[in-house]
Chains A and B, each alone.
Chain A
Amino acid sequence: MNSSRIDLRPRCDGLSRRDFLHLGALSCLGLSLADLFRFQALADSPRAKRDLSCILIWLDGGPSHIETFDPKPDAPIEVRGEFKAISTSVDGIRICEHLPRTAKVMREVALLRSLTHELGNHDTGSHYLLTGHRPTPAVQYPSLGSIIARETGIVRALPPYLAIPEAVPAAGAGYLPGAFSPFAIGGDPSKPDYKVRDLHPPESVGFDRVDRRRSMQQALDGFARHVEDSPATASRDAYYEQAYRLLTSPEAKGAFDLGQEPRSMRERYGFKRVGTGCLLARRLVEAGARFVTVVDDGWDMHQQIFKAMPDAFFPGSGKLPALDSAYATLIEDLKERGLLDTTLVVMMGEFGRTPKINAAAGRDHWPRAGFVLFAGGGVRGGQLIGATDAYGETPSERPVRPEDVAFTLLNLLGVQPDKEYIAPGGRPLKILAEGGFIDGLV
């Protein structure tokens, strides 16, 4: 068998015997060529050296930097807007008055105020931030989460990369095998009767039948002489593989169950989507997930920004109070559980917003200035990195580009960004073509 290139040992090390029994016909020894094909995607995915996990809170739509983490209290009214700046637990760092609980945890946070790029629409901007590459029609780049999944390998029952509730388009596997795309839990976890879709077989189908079905499926695929092994079949088989592992692990399934959290904890996070999402993300990271994206949409505030940000309409209507309890509680909770050192929490969106308020009392897209919050995972908290000019138009100190954010994130999670992957067609591509580590962050 012509298999000397493919080293299967990492997979064998990473799997318990029980996992293998559940894989039916497969065993570490005596894999057929078909099996080799099937697991090629997985086989060369050694576990990343460091066990850091990452929670990415993605503020979809492009959050205004001025109304959040880069207030400009001394700018003219048409720039500074209606909100005041408040002091935080760190001398010299002031943030928006509607983030009082976040202000208290700033000691844990490195606040980057000088994110800058030039891609001012949602799709291209998101792609840039989430992959570290400017989009090009020639190559579909993998997202940071997919890279982490690729480096982790599919070694646990729980998928390494998850999205709550759905993944944004740029957060996919790109040219990597589909097995490294995020598992989107779907639906709205803040609803009381929420269940992750399709996680349990129908009630009429007991465990013995699930086992029988699986062995039947494997027998059929063994017979399938018309369908030879190829990247397409390998990718499909990898999905099934992942699904079976998840189904056969009560621990993994339990991680999705918010009902196991005390009510007091749910209240601390808040019952809005972003709060529930952050709580679920913490449970998933605790259970071994490597990269969890919590998508919070609604930040594209072209109009009425001063109504949409705080609870201007009714309690719970505003974006900032919901984010405030979600983010601050996540940081506190991770710290209380001793997980903050091994969990990198990143919060960002695709760009900032225009320093000058528009005619509809909103702000438009502004990629030249934006913010990123880093906490945990060895990050030195309580510091500012970079600054924008007096009106928040453009970085005045230490401009940082999306590829630098991507480089830093990957590096912190133990991935070398100059490593090469083989894209379809045998094309070797570096994970990142550009970018460098953000000095002073750790």
Chain B
Amino acid sequence: MPPVIGWLLAFPLTASEPASHMSFVADVLPQLTKAGCNTGACHGAATGQGGFQLSLLGYDPEHDYQAITRELEGRRIDLATPARSLILRKPTRELDHEGGLRIERDSVAWRKLVDWMSQGAGYGPPELHVSAIEVHPAAGFLISPGESHSLRVTARRSDGTVEEVTSLALYSPNDDGIAEVSEDGVVTVKNPGLTAIMVRYSGHVAAVRVGAPYTKDPEPAAVAFPVRNFIDEHVFAGLKRLRIPPSALSEDQVFLRRVYLDVAGRLPTPDEIEAFQTRADSEANRMDVIDRLMDEPGFVDFWTLKLADLLLINSSKMGAEGARAYHGWLRQQVADNVPMDRMVDVLLTAEGNPDENGPANFYRLTRDPRDMSEFVGQTLLGTQVACARCHNHPFDRWTMDDYHSFAAYFARTGLEGGRIVQRAFGEVQHPKTGRDASPRPLGGGANAAEHEDDRRAPLAKWMTSPDNPMFPRAFVNRVWKELLGRGLVEPVDDLRPTNPPSNPALLDALAEHFIRNGYDLRDLIRTIVSSGTYQLSSRANGLNHLDDRHFSRAYLKPLTAQVLADAIAQATGVPEEFAGQPSGVRAVELIDPQVPSYTLDVFGRCDRTVTCAPGSQTGGGLSQALHLLNGPVINARTGQVAQRLMTSAQSDEDRIRELYLRTLSRPPDARELDHWTGVLAQAGSPRAALEDLLWALLNSREFAFNH
């Protein structure tokens, strides 16, 4: 029968039938999603594929319904002979299909589509949607490597019905080195460790944590773990669960160097090392050092630098005056230990002339409210909302509505006559509806902004509310990464339900502690560095060398650009000169990344044009090695030190000891002392040999890393 006649015959039939029983949203779309039709690489791309465009992973069912049933003059479906419809002949490869075989003839998906078309290809109840999904077992599981375990996924519909959708959900492992997952939700753990499986269905996302312990031995973690505060309880519980034995507590001299570099951004001086070592009780001694470091100006400079990197303080965007005002304000906040919620509040609601009122430069980064909302999301809330600008976020809960409503908070902020001002007008339009989005916090909730003169005030109130954990979680995770070398969530600007922390209880506890203690940065740092976890040795104990996210040992942290430059200057006693800066200014004190310094560039300083991942090296590589080997940064300094030591110190042993203390922050052990006295004794020119030893110390691994 020719298709036209078939259609004519079919039409009155379906028209006289009762309304379709099937729902496009609940019955049809999930099949297409499961078959991969609407991924970003296929018809879910913004421009579609082969003239056929669907919404990414089906977030816009009405659009998809139109595309399937109405576009191409309705030729994509065939109500009379559903099997002949394009929507089936393409993915079964009866017709040429660039996307390959997606749906097998006579498969469940195929039959669902056929049934739906035989019933008239209706949309079904217009309001029906999936309101929640649940993954079982919700708490996840640990099994042995090589074993498998099935997930079960249920969806609750808006009409109250619950159905199993295990075969239709999408699964992906966050780390497929640890676990794999099949299309129907069977998880196979491959290696020891813990990761999450992301589960997606009908616009909802969930994650379940799965993995395998490190050993079969039920009690390998009987090692003494130095429990000093709540952090250690959570870390130790995590290690016990995975049966990862922790490393021992670090030695005193290792701790001392570590905490100086992490808290004050500098090396301890030889005098400070001596003073520390002559005192007895180790734990109280360590607490004293921590408290003293928090009080020194170096602490303020160093943490101002970290926050300035986060806020992108840069004269290229703000002008020299603006950058100076902003940096000055920020430094004062750190010096006065202003609570972080207050700082966020001031930043978000800042107004006036940014050359005078530092925090107003916050709004100088961009004039576009959408860009501003993305920046605020990424830096302060640790979330990537940008995807939801054009389509619902494929891995997070953010919808386009969330995105544009959040951006609307910034729609009335602008620069007029050199001042950051609030205007009485300005809206963000939702690209789909064309309507003005009304300001609403991320994730919904009430908002009173429409009645406020300044939309940003309720935003600040929401972001700093003790009931809202987003900012605290993002912030403590960043500080944790600065101190421990890896975030509890990585990347630190992508906290989402489908990217769970390596230790969720710890992140919760830290955020709660931070809120309860008044968003106090110093207290947070003190709490972390006084934990046993922070003070563990970086040396692996055989079993835990593979652990890179559960903090069973200290992870190596390369010295960051400014700290490395300052450490070289400090160790040699020869300061670095920066163009246009007063003599003696250290790299960590520089206000602006525009201050020219090849050394800092090649060491990989953050240029503050876009958010830099903490500890990431944009420079580095061969250029950095060549600069350290041949450049002036070390070579122009070593001669002076060697010359001085030749006269000031009595013996080669003293000289070697002094160089070790200055660079590696520890005395040489007997073997090292023996080796180097031998080398120096044989050298033709002791001074040149001493200079070369200093050069080698500054180029050594032990110097380059905070361990």
Contacts and interface: CB of A to CB of B under 8 A. Distances in A.
Contact of A183 (B45, B623, B696): B623
Contact of B631 (A198, A205, A220, A237): A198
Contact of B621 (A181, A209, A422): A181
Interface in A143-182: 159, 169, 178-179, 181-182
A247 B625 CA distance: 11
B692 A426 contact: no
B617 A198 contact: no
A225 B538 CA distance: 10
Contacts of B696: 213, 216-217, 219-220
A295 to B, nearest CB: 15
A399 B292 CA distance: 65
Interface string A316-357: 000000000000000000000000000000000000000000
A212 interface: yes
Contacts of A183: 621-623
A20 interface: no
Contacts of A198: 623, 626-627, 629-631
Contacts of B540: 228
A159 B700 CA distance: 22
Given A198-B630, A224-B701, A209 B692 contact: yes
A198 B601 CA distance: 14
A205 to B, nearest CB: 7
Contact of B558 (A201, A209, A228, A236): A236
B402 interface: no
Contact of A216 (B46, B539, B620, B693): B693
A397 interface: no
A226 interface: yes
B249 to A, nearest CB: 14
Interface in B479-535: 491, 494
A236 B704 contact: yes
B187 to A, nearest CB: 16
B707 A247 contact: no
B679 A184 contact: no
Interface string A221-233: 1011111101011
A427 B176 contact: yes
A287 interface: no
Contacts of B47: 118
Contact of A247 (B620, B630, B639, B679): B630
Contact of B630 (A199, A209, A221): A199
Contacts, number: 144
A84 interface: no
B254 to A, nearest CB: 6
Given A198-B623, A198-B626, A232-B558, A226 B692 contact: no
Contacts of B558: 232, 236
Interface string A95-117: 00000000000000000000000
Nearest to A206: B688
A92 interface: no
B635 A247 contact: no
B176 A232 contact: no
Interface in B556-607: 556, 558, 598
A240 B625 contact: yes
A200 interface: yes
B230 interface: no
Nearest to A185: B623
A137 B627 CA distance: 31
Given A199-B630, A216-B693, A137 B494 contact: yes
A236 B624 CA distance: 10
Nearest to B387: A137
A198 B632 CA distance: 9
A212 B689 contact: yes
B627 A226 contact: no
A19 interface: no
A224 B46 CA distance: 53
Contacts of A422: 177
Contacts of A181: 620-622
Nearest to B688: A209
A428 interface: yes
A5 interface: no
Contact of B538 (A186, A221, A227): A227
A434 B41 contact: yes
Given A199-B626, A213-B692, A226 B177 contact: no
B177 A239 contact: no
Contacts of A233: 556, 701, 705
A30 interface: no
Nearest to A433: B41
B621 A179 contact: yes
B175 A186 contact: no
B477 to A, nearest CB: 16
A246 interface: yes
A137 B679 contact: no
A141 to B, nearest CB: 15
A183 B545 CA distance: 31
B702 A118 contact: no
A186 B46 CA distance: 39
A242 B622 CA distance: 7
A117 to B, nearest CB: 10
Given A184-B623, A197-B627, A220-B697, A137 B384 contact: yes
A239 B700 contact: no
Nearest to A180: B621
Contacts of B538: 226-228
A213 B695 contact: yes
Given A212-B689, A212-B692, A220 B702 contact: yes
Given A198-B629, A213-B696, A425 B701 contact: no
Given A201-B630, A213-B692, A216-B693, A239 B702 contact: no
B699 interface: yes
A227 B675 contact: no
A219 B696 CA distance: 9
A197 B621 contact: no
A289 B393 CA distance: 43
A246 B384 CA distance: 42
B16 to A, nearest CB: 46
Contacts of A224: 700-702
Given A220-B696, A220-B700, A239 B630 contact: no
B539 A228 contact: yes
A243 B629 contact: yes
Contacts of A315: none
B621 A178 contact: yes
A202 interface: yes
Contacts of B697: 220
A200 B631 CA distance: 8
B191 interface: yes
Nearest to B693: A216
Given A228-B539, A237-B701, A425-B175, A202 B629 contact: no
Nearest to A429: B176
A239 B621 contact: yes
Contact of B177 (A216, A217, A247, A425): A425
Interface string A184-201: 101000000000011111
A221 B697 CA distance: 9
Given A198-B623, A224-B701, A425-B548, 10 more contacts: A179-B622, A181-B620, A197-B631, A199-B626, A202-B632, A213-B695, A216-B692, A219-B675, A237-B701, A425-B177
Interface of A: 118, 134, 137, 159, 169, 178-179, 181-184, 186, 197-202, 204-205, 209, 212-213, 216-217, 219-221, 223-228, 230, 232-233, 236-237, 239-240, 242-244, 246-247, 422, 425-428, 433-434
The 7 closest A-B pairs by CB, nearest first: A426-B177, A216-B696, A243-B625, A239-B625, A198-B626, A220-B700, A198-B630
21 contacts: A178-B617, A197-B631, A202-B635, A212-B689, A216-B696, A217-B696, A219-B675, A221-B700, A224-B700, A225-B539, A226-B702, A228-B556, A232-B558, A240-B625, A240-B629, A242-B625, A243-B622, A243-B629, A425-B548, A428-B176, A428-B177
